């Protein structure tokens, strides 16, 4: 059990008991469970069996994938909530990966000026990262997460057994954010990850704890929390450009590429040593598979980093490493440094 900003994060086999107690106490007028077709099939039946309070909940099923983080789908969900007469005392339960929690959190955070929502993450990425911290949002005008709110959930219930049905590619996708968390803030975790052979649930708990520490210190993302964006300046640019050109890439895969690029920039700025840089690149290339990026799109990717919402006055601001296990925020980066880092990234994929 981890305390966050006005809510509790429960992890483990007994979370459904905690969820039942939570629901009994809160007495919501209506419960709406948001899921996609995969979590509908693999996670919803177990949830309903284990948590009897949800037997009459309404189910909203959306299509899986990043394309669902759209304003169009938000409109449909708001219309559906209105058609069910959902009032201020209704609850949205996000049962899914980061797409479901980002979307459902956003829908709840503005419906009737805000109704409660809780997250029951079912992907590794959502368990270790996206379900905690209160960032909600959708993609808009081709830019990732460009519309959203920071609204904390009323509870997070992490049941690692849901991962049994998660495809392998999505396990690696979630591991990417755990490696990021280690690189920016926990050298001991980094060493453990280097020698780990299998996914251990303690990695999820540690990742949540580390993220929660940043969030509690800086809920509105104005200072120390920005460290969590390591790998994301370049990663989001890669993801936005590739998704627009219909190349299949997952968030964690883009962030991993971004971590290689931003480690290269950290080296260039003498924030990490050559030895540390080699250790990072060697570890990540041993643990993950990297595909080359289309070099023809590098120009667009650099342009997308200039539009990143983390920037001020159109100057690229990045969160970089400051040694392994430490970070430095608000580092000015030039478009040329981004381009060179993308070229370096492709050189290690050959």
Ligand X SMILES: NC(=O)c1ccc[n+]([C@@H]2O[C@H](COP(=O)([O-])OP(=O)(O)OC[C@H]3O[C@@H](n4cnc5c(N)ncnc54)[C@H](O)[C@@H]3O)[C@@H](O)[C@H]2O)c1
Quick one: which segment of 90-98, 108-116, 261-269, 325-333 binds ligand X (CB under 6 A)?
Answer: 90-98
What DSSP assignment string belongs to 205-246? HHHHHHHHHHHHH-TTSSSGGGGGGTTHHHHHHHHHHHHHTT
- Residue 274: burial class (beta carbons within 10 Å; 0-12, 13-18, 19+): exposed
Residue with Cβ nearer ligand X (123 or 305):
123
Three-state DSSP at 137 gives strand
Alpha carbon of 183 to those of 90, 290, 305: distances in Å?
A: 39, 18, 22
CB count within 10 Å of CB 60 equals 22
The CB-of-174 to ligand X minimum distance in angstroms stands at 6
Residue with Cβ nearer ligand X (129 or 308):
129
Residue with Cβ nearer ligand X (98 or 258):
98
The CB-of-283 to ligand X minimum distance in angstroms stands at 21
**Binder of ligand X out of 53, 66, 218, 340 (CB under 6 A):** 66
Residue 195 CA to residue 77 CA, distance in Å, equals 44
Binding marks (x or -) toward ligand X, 121..160, rule CB under 6 A? -xx-xx--xx--x-x---------x---------------
**Residue 308, interface with ligand X (CB under 6 A)?**
no
- What residues numbered 97-116 form the site for ligand X, per CB under 6 A? 97-100, 102
- Residue with the closest Cβ to ligand X? 98
**Residue 39, interface with ligand X (CB under 6 A)?**
yes
The CB-of-35 to ligand X minimum distance in angstroms stands at 8
> Helix 187-195 to helix 274-287 angle, to the nearest 10 degrees?
40
Q: What is the C-alpha radius of gyration for the chain, rounded to an integer number of angstroms?
A: 20
- What residues numbered 212-271 form the site for ligand X, per CB under 6 A? 250-251
**Binder of ligand X out of 9, 23, 43, 178 (CB under 6 A):** 43
Q: Comparing C-alpha atoms, which of 232, 131, 244, 123 is closest to residue 173?
A: 123
By CB under 6 A, how many residues form the interface with ligand X?
31
The CB-of-326 to ligand X minimum distance in angstroms stands at 21
The CB-of-69 to ligand X minimum distance in angstroms stands at 6
313 backbone dihedrals φ, ψ, rounded to 5°: 45, 45
Residue with Cβ nearer ligand X (170 or 206):
170
Contacting residues for 184 by C-beta, under 8 A, at least 6 apart:
227, 228, 230, 319, 321, 325, 326, 327
CB count within 10 Å of CB 307 equals 16
Q: Comparing C-alpha atoms, which of 91, 85, 106 is closest to residue 30?
A: 91
In the complex, the residues that contact ligand X under the rule CB under 6 A are 36, 38-39, 42-43, 64-66, 69, 96-100, 102, 122-123, 125-126, 129-130, 133, 135, 145, 162, 165-166, 170, 173, 250-251
């Amino acid at each position: 059990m981890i305390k966050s900003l006005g809510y509790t994060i429960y992890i483990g086999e007994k979370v459904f008991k905690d969820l039942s107690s939570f629901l009994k106490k809160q007495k919501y007028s209506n419960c709406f469970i948001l899921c996609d077709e995969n979590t509908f099939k693999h996670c919803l039946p177990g949830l309903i069996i284990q948590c009897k309070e949800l037997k009459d909940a309404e189910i909203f099923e959306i299509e899986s994938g990043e394309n669902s983080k759209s304003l169009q789908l938000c409109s449909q969900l708001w219309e559906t909530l209105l058609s069910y007469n959902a009032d201020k005392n209704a609850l949205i339960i996000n049962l899914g990966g980061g797409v479901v929690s980002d979307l459902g959190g956003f829908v709840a955070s503005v419906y009737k000026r805000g109704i409660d929502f809780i997250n029951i993450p079912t992907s590794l990425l959502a368990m270790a990262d996206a379900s905690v911290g209160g960032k909600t949002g959708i993609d808009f005008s081709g830019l990732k997460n460009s519309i959203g709110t920071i609204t904390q959930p009323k509870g997070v219930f992490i049941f690692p057994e849901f991962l049994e049905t998660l495809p392998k590619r999505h396990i690696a996708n979630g591991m990417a954010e755990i490696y990021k968390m280690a690189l920016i803030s926990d050298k001991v975790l980094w060493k453990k990850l280097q020698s780990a052979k299998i996914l251990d649930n303690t990695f999820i708990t540690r990742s949540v704890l580390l993220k929660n520490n940043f969030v509690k210190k800086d809920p509105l993302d104005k200072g120390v929390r920005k460290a969590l964006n390591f790998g994301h300046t370049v990663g989001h640019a890669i993801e936005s450009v590739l998704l627009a050109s219909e190349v299949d890439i997952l968030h964690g895969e883009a962030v991993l590429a971004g971590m290689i690029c931003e480690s290269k920039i950290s080296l260039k700025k003498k924030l990490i040593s050559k030895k540390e840089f080699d250790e990072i690149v060697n570890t990540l290339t041993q643990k993950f598979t990297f595909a080359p990026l289309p070099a023809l799109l590098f120009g667009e990717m650099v342009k997308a980093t200039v539009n990143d919402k983390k920037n001020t006055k159109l100057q690229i601001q990045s969160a970089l490493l400051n040694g392994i296990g430490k970070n430095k925020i608000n580092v000015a980066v030039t478009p040329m440094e981004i381009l060179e880092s993308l070229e370096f990234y492709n050189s290690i994929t050959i």
